[in-house]
């Protein structure tokens, strides 16, 4: 499970133990949407590209990018191993990920 706050503090993303990712409005304390396209535990969420993109990853061996203006899935990256942690480059165009087996991989985003 993971949590991330948008840079302006208005949005909270939570990676859930049972696989979903929730996006919360911090003013109303209500869920805006639940992204459910997961199987397994979601380990990571992060905001990117001026908080217009949400990045998620976990045990289902897929990195997903969500457009937060339309709530649409904009990119899926299939990987060979589950991800235990990730970091987003400040540009929002590069992800560094690591797996439980000590592998580090760099991913360029479209």
Rounded mean pLDDT, 31-51: 83
CA distance 32 to 86: 24
Residue found under tokens 């997903």: 64
Q: Are 56 and 39 in contact (CB under 8 A)?
A: no
Q: Which CATH number fits domain 2-80: 3.40.50.300, 2.40.30.10, 2.40.10.480, 1.20.1090.10?
A: 2.40.10.480
CA distance 85 to 106: 12
Domain boundaries, the chain: 2-80
The backbone torsions φ and ψ at residue 105, rounded to the nearest 5 degrees and listed phi first, read -135, 140
Query: Binning pLDDT at 50, 70 and 90, where does residue 38 land?
Result: low
Q: Report whether pLDDT(50) > 90.
A: no
> What pTM did the predictor assign?
0.85
Residue 103's pLDDT is 78
For the stretch 12-22, pLDDT in tens is 999 877 768 99
């Amino acid at each position: 499970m993971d949590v991330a706050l948008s840079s302006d503090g208005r949005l909270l993303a939570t990676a859930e133990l049972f696989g979903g990712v929730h996006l919360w409005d911090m003013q109303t304390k209500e869920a805006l949407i639940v992204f459910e396209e997961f199987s397994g535990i979601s380990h990571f969420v992060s905001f990117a590209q001026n908080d217009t993109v949400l990045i998620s990853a976990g045990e289902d061996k897929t990195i997903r990018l969500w457009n937060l203006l339309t709530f649409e899935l904009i990119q899926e990256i299939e990987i060979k191993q589950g991800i235990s942690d990730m970091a987003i480059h400040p540009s929002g165009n590069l992800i560094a990920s690591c797996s439980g087996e000590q592998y580090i991989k760099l991913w360029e985003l479209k």
